[in-house]
Amino acid sequence: MAGMKRNSGMRYAEARFADLRINKTAVEQRAATLTKRRSIKKDNQAGWLLRSISCMDLTTLSGDDTPAKVRRLCAKARQPLTAELVAALGIEALQLKVGAVCVYHNMISTAVEALYGSGIPVAAVSTGFPAGQIPLNIKLQEIRASVKAGASEIDIVISREKVLTGNWRGLYDEVVRYREACGDAHLKTILATHELGTLTNVARASWVCMMAGADFIKTSTGKEPVNATLPVSLVMMRAIRDYEDETGFRIGYKPAGGIKTAKESLEYLAMIKEELGDAWLSAGLFRFGASSLLGDIERQLEHHVTGRYSASYRHPMG
């Protein structure tokens, strides 16, 4: 995201979002059109799948994470496809790599070292991820510590209770503090959309986070029962579009959790292109939060080259 004009936010204005009402049926009908259209084929499909890889946050957020596991993931981030597949596709000059590697705080230094010289940023989840149920002062300390350790992107979780109780000003003030604690690191705000109750709440929370200075808005932690969906994505993308129209700032979008297949990644890219435009078809403004998506994309690209599907175990993430 280097060189991009960062969102400076705007003064809190509840009137801007208080009257938002989302028609759930209309949103679901629009999202359904993306799954019914004619699929992209052959070389065009391969090109879009390569775009998916370049917009991917390779992620490991497990209790059994070890330095060795993170180093393997970073090696995969540097070279997402095998040298043989890169040669067969004729994309050596592309120097393909992923958008970022996302880890817990304790693994930041390992990831920074493993990615040195690659230009791939390290993202860290923060603020009591995934539930966010710790005091604010500890959340701020965690952000500052992660930035100091070398994270250039911070994925925070918002306090869902502020949304559910309608404490929008409290949410705004909290995200402002997060942005301040991030300093030069980019702030990605995780809404945990499944836990917000309604699409109207998703739209309002998106606006509050952008007003407070978020550089990205993100659907989920990946730990909820339901994570990224196309209807939720449509609501958030349209909030981003409206915010740009009003302020001139382009906010990034990150669907996270549950996106496992190459076909699904193409649906999200199609929605981004149609709702926000070509400027969002890059890692600077769009990311997949994914840990298993890359494996299926590899299989599809291998099929494109050989006409055969390989076994999934041939494409480990780390």
155 is catalytic: yes
Q: Is the peptide bond before 135 cis (omega within 30 degrees of 0)?
A: no
Instruction: Give the Å distances, CA to CA, from 79 to 72, 153, 159, 178, 298.
Output: 11, 21, 36, 33, 12
How far apart (Å, rounded) are the C-alpha atoms in residues 253 and 185?
A: 16
List the catalytic residue out of 155, 188, 215, 296. 155
Tokens of 7: 């969102």
How far is the C-alpha of 48 from the C-alpha of 265, rounded, in Å?
9
Among this protein's residues, is 218 annotated catalytic?
Answer: yes
Q: Give, in order, the Cα–Cα distances in Å from 177 to each of 43, 164, 274, 294.
A: 46, 20, 33, 34
Catalytic member of 76, 162, 188, 254? 254
* Catalytic residue (choose from 57, 188, 218, 296): 218
Asked whether the beta carbons of 214 and 157 are under 8 A apart, the reply is: no
Active site residue 148: no
**What's the N-to-C CA distance of the chain in angstroms?**
25
Query: Which residue do the tokens 């929370």 mark?
Result: 205
Phi, psi (5° rounding) for residue 205? -65, -35
Cβ-Cβ contacts under 8 Å for 245 (sequence gap 6 or more): none
The token duo for 6 is: 């960062």
Question: What positions carry a catalytic annotation?
Answer: 155, 218, 254
